[in-house]
Structure 1
Amino acid sequence: MKKQQIPTLSSIFAQATSAALARVQADEGASSTAHAAQGGALGSALASPRMAVALSGGLDSSALLQLAHGYAREHGIELFAFHIHHGLSPNADHWLAHCEQACAALGVMFEAQRVQLTEQGKTGTEAAARKVRYAALGGLCARHEVRLLLTAHHLDDQAETVLLQLLRGSGTAGLSGMDAANAAPELLANPALVMARPLLPVSRKQLDAYVAAQQISHIHDESNDDARFARNALRHKVMPALDAAFPGFQERFARSAQHAQSAQRLLTELAEQDLAQCLDGDSLDVARLRSLSADRCANLLRHWFKVRQLRMPSSAWLSEMLTQLLEARYDAQLLVTHPDCHVRRHRDRLYLTPKLAALAGEREDQFDQSPGTEFVWKGEAELAFPAYGGVLHFERAEQGLDPQWLQGQTLVIEFRRGGERLKLADNRPTRGIKYHYQALNIPAWERGRLPVVSTPQQLLFAAGIGMDCNKLTTGTDRIRLRWQAV
């Protein structure tokens, strides 16, 4: 019986990198085909894409650079190395110089970028540094038209990630750990970029042996020894104990992560189907949500938050929100606040609305007592009113206001004060603005941001509703008003 050969580090790297490149080329091919179908040229979309290494100068990324250099040379791929200088360590300048020298010795194109941590918030230095680092890497890749970014995450990193997520009480998404390759447009601020981890099947011991055998020079980041950071505490205190008691546990953790990834893919498919059934415009149909089981409903809402690029809510927050929003009366106007948005219910519809800065005099479905803003129209196509959160457009129409009459008026823009009435057509009665809001199904939270325009004598226009017909005439170059929120 022929003895099975153990894959070398180079072959593991080559297989993973080739798979990632195939994904990039498939994406580019689909994009190029769509572009050609619209009459564009195929161009060079199907050529071998450029590749970059995220290089810190440490042992792992130095091994990655060596492997990537050999692979790129063999396959005729243009290789870059990008280093992010955080300035957090007194040795940061030395690390940058080391990376530059290592790339020069290999003939790899190198670029460094200095970044500053402006906001750490509640996440701490480690998370803040990660955020700015990946955004900078994404920017460098965009600048050099790089479509594939390689990082040096390995098997032990995957085991640490799974254990950290388990300690945080994460669900299947967190327990999935890191993908072999994925797009991360929010993290990298680059929707065209694929991030691959070709060393994910490789253990730290294998990398140590490879670096020693190849005599690869590397630096040591002293912050990796600081046990105040959660990952470092696991790495130096917990993982050695696990390895002693359960040798090879890293491979089993990685296998569990693959099972979680499979389960998460199924949950995502189900959520996409449920979202298609429940989505009505930009809102969810509450009656259809109620037809789902509690677990499917929660799964759908998590997916909706992800699609809208919002932070994932906790299980407790999600459960409380569902209780409030799904069990309320049909006519209830409910609001649940999330760190990134407001979750609202209006007439059996569920909305995610942004947290907007309060406008001058804004009152949600209440009356404004602040003075309006007077202005004179001098023929402009549009006028911006930042205090009211939008732009007033003056558009040509067959039926509208006489432009000469309009230019002679002192106009006022303001939020409604209460009691305003509007007649939309000669054959329709004059109604209060609130009646029109309700008839048009305009949610209460939007009404407070919709201004009205009037002369001292009468109302001319209400945003979200339309023009009062009393001053409308028919002729060439009449003017109609239109409000656009910004």
Structure 2
Amino acid sequence: MTEAAQAVFATWLRQTYPNPAESIAVAFSGGGDSLALLILTLRHAGPRPVYALCVDHALQEGSAKIIAAAAAQAQRLGAVAQTFYWHHGTITSGVQEAARKARYGLMGDFCRENRMDSLLVAHSRDDQAETLWMRKQCGGGWRAMAGMSASSYAPVWPQLRGVTLRRPLLEWGREDIRAICRDAGEPWYDDPANENNDYLRVQARMALASDPVLSPVLLEEGRKMRARRDGEARGVQDWLTEIDIVDGGGTHVDQAALHNMSAPALARVLMCISGHPHMADMARVRALIDAMVEPGYNVQTLGGCAILRQDKGFIIARETGRWLAQNKPVKLPAHEPVVFDGRWEIVVARKGLHAAPLWPARGQLSKPQRAQLHSYNAHIRRGLVGVFEGRDMVATPFIPNGDVTYRNLVKSRLLKHSAKLGAAPA
């Protein structure tokens, strides 16, 4: 990486973290890319504290020793190293995706606990090309082919809620990045999994290495698709800021608003209200909008939401039929935030409590409490959560309890997506 490139990085860092006392979190594995990012960050952070977040996935022999060495290297370089361990049990399928969610969950918890609203990761131009190759193999549409953004709000939900993922090295090639390590005389760890052909990313790396023309073609396609996606996002932004998320996590959309509503805008609303990690298929969202303008429209479900005609417009609420039928309680460890159904963050002050849908236990409510329940829209109230001790309901969003704190995530998630043009899922 040239001196000019490093100057660009230094300027970016100062602009992104304007407060000289603001802490910076860097995802650090000990690999060449994350090592270079850590070196650059420490070099240009000034007085800002830099934290190197190291996760032991415990998926290979000797992983604890590898992460311990990475943490020691980070400390020696001047960072504050934080090590996390993933207690994964006996996992047999979807290992890479589960590890990814766990990794970001652990780092996201640390960022939130320490009031850091962003996390730096060392994705490179080569990573971008590999991602685009994989998405093309899977038949992704044009949005998928936009690839990774330089900045993405909570791309792993709910693990990264409240955290923006930043990729300051996304335009730099892997060899240029690792030259930073070599120039600094710092060794890095080469993960043997990078040679395992069972992983799609390794297949992508090999395919790109065998065809030098392929990577530039994919990257150019990605740039065009990102420009298109960013333009789309600017059109969506104003519409999203007008959406009023009511207490409980639903919204009412006027019939007239349909004329200004695009499929990407509605897809984001559905994603946030349902608590789902990803947006619904865009073709199905467009078909839904076409159906909504028809006089005979009554109700449809999509993306975990019910969209119902009501009051000269539409109510959008969490679809609860399958959700209530499953009715799986979630344990609530004391003093640890737990996200329920992707929509509610709950913290309890004592052990022995769990979260579950409120609706099946509504018979436990007193007459005044039932009146409070019925102050919610008929469809929204069915998606409310309760906190239970055994079978007994001890708290709801409208029944105060000093041992229970609720935070509805729907509105904050939607507003942050609308405020950040880089808030694409990738």
- TM-score normalized by structure 1? 0.59
Check conservation: 2:154, 2:162, Cα contact below 8 A.
no
Distance 1:275 1:79, change over 3 A: closer
Residue type of the alignment partner of 2:96: E
| Superimposed CA distance per residue, residues 242-271 of structure 1 (whole angstroms, 9 cap, x where no aligned partner) | 31x45xx44x64454343333222212322
Deviation of 1:231 after TM superposition, in Å, equals 1.8
Q: Which has the higher contact order (CA 8 A, sep 6+)?
A: 2
Check conservation: 2:359, 2:381, Cα contact below 8 A.
no
* Residue 210 of structure 2 is aligned to residue 241 of structure 1: yes
* Residue 279 of structure 2 is aligned to residue 312 of structure 1: yes
Deviation of 1:88 after TM superposition, in Å, equals 1.1
* Residue 76 of structure 2 is aligned to residue 82 of structure 1: no
* Residue 8 of structure 2 is aligned to residue 19 of structure 1: no
Distance 1:276 1:60, change over 3 A: closer
> How many positions carry a matched residue from both structures?
343
1:211 aligns with 181
1:351 aligns with 315
1:112 aligns with 83
Deviation of 1:288 after TM superposition, in Å, equals 4.5
Deviation of 1:115 after TM superposition, in Å, equals 1.5
Deviation of 1:53 after TM superposition, in Å, equals 1.9
Deviation of 1:113 after TM superposition, in Å, equals 0.7
- TM-score normalized by structure 2? 0.67
RMSD between aligned residues: 4.0
SS state at 2:194 partner:
helix
Between the aligned partners of 1:101 and 1:349, the Cα distance in structure 2 is 59
Unaligned stretches of 5+ residues in structure 1: 1-6, 26-45, 360-383, 396-412, 415-436, 451-485
Between the aligned partners of 1:207 and 1:449, the Cα distance in structure 2 is 48
| Superimposed CA distance per residue, residues 65-117 of structure 1 (whole angstroms, 9 cap, x where no aligned partner) | 22223223xx2222221101111111311211211221233232111011234
2:230 aligns with 265
Deviation of 1:60 after TM superposition, in Å, equals 1.4
Distance 1:196 1:341, change over 3 A: same
Residue type of the alignment partner of 1:59: G
2:39 aligns with 66
Check conservation: 2:301, 2:307, Cα contact below 8 A.
yes
SS state at 2:211 partner:
helix
- Structure number, greater radius of gyration: 1
Residue type of the alignment partner of 2:128: Q
| Superimposed CA distance per residue, residues 387-440 of structure 1 (whole angstroms, 9 cap, x where no aligned partner) | 117744649xxxxxxxxxxxxxxxxx89xxxxxxxxxxxxxxxxxxxxxx9xx9
Check conservation: 1:165, 1:175, Cα contact below 8 A.
yes
Check conservation: 1:335, 1:345, Cα contact below 8 A.
no
Check conservation: 2:300, 2:307, Cα contact below 8 A.
yes
Correspondence for 1:91 among 49, 55, 62: 62
Check conservation: 2:151, 2:166, Cα contact below 8 A.
yes
Between the aligned partners of 2:312 and 2:90, the Cα distance in structure 1 is 39
SS state at 1:70 partner:
helix
Between the aligned partners of 1:447 and 1:190, the Cα distance in structure 2 is 27
Residue type of the alignment partner of 1:99: A
Check conservation: 2:101, 2:159, Cα contact below 8 A.
no
Check conservation: 2:29, 2:54, Cα contact below 8 A.
yes
SS state at 2:123 partner:
coil
Distance 1:441 1:163, change over 3 A: same
**Within 5 A, what are the aligned runs for 1:112-261?**
112-117=83-88, 124-184=94-154, 187=157, 189=159, 193-236=163-206, 238-243=207-212, 245=213, 249-250=215-216, 253-261=218-226
Distance 1:345 1:87, change over 3 A: farther
Correspondence for 1:387 among 336, 348, 361: 361
Distance 1:108 1:188, change over 3 A: farther
**Within 5 A, what are the aligned runs for 1:280-359?**
282-286=251-255, 288-289=257-258, 291=259, 297-308=262-273, 310=276, 311-322=278-289, 324-327=291-294, 329=296, 332=298, 334-338=299-303, 340-346=304-310, 349-356=313-320, 357-358=323-324
Deviation of 1:121 after TM superposition, in Å, equals 11
| Superimposed CA distance per residue, residues 136-172 of structure 1 (whole angstroms, 9 cap, x where no aligned partner) | 1122223344454221111101112233334444445
SS state at 1:235 partner:
helix
Residue type of the alignment partner of 2:11: S
Residue type of the alignment partner of 2:230: R
Deviation of 1:11 after TM superposition, in Å, equals 4.5
Residue type of the alignment partner of 1:179: S
Deviation of 1:203 after TM superposition, in Å, equals 0.8
Distance 1:140 1:322, change over 3 A: same
Deviation of 1:355 after TM superposition, in Å, equals 4.0
Residue type of the alignment partner of 1:22: Q
Unaligned stretches of 5+ residues in structure 2: 326-357, 385-407, 409-426
Between the aligned partners of 1:170 and 1:187, the Cα distance in structure 2 is 20
Between the aligned partners of 1:135 and 1:125, the Cα distance in structure 2 is 15
Between the aligned partners of 2:242 and 2:83, the Cα distance in structure 1 is 48
Distance 1:271 1:214, change over 3 A: closer
Distance 1:204 1:275, change over 3 A: closer
Between the aligned partners of 1:88 and 1:177, the Cα distance in structure 2 is 27
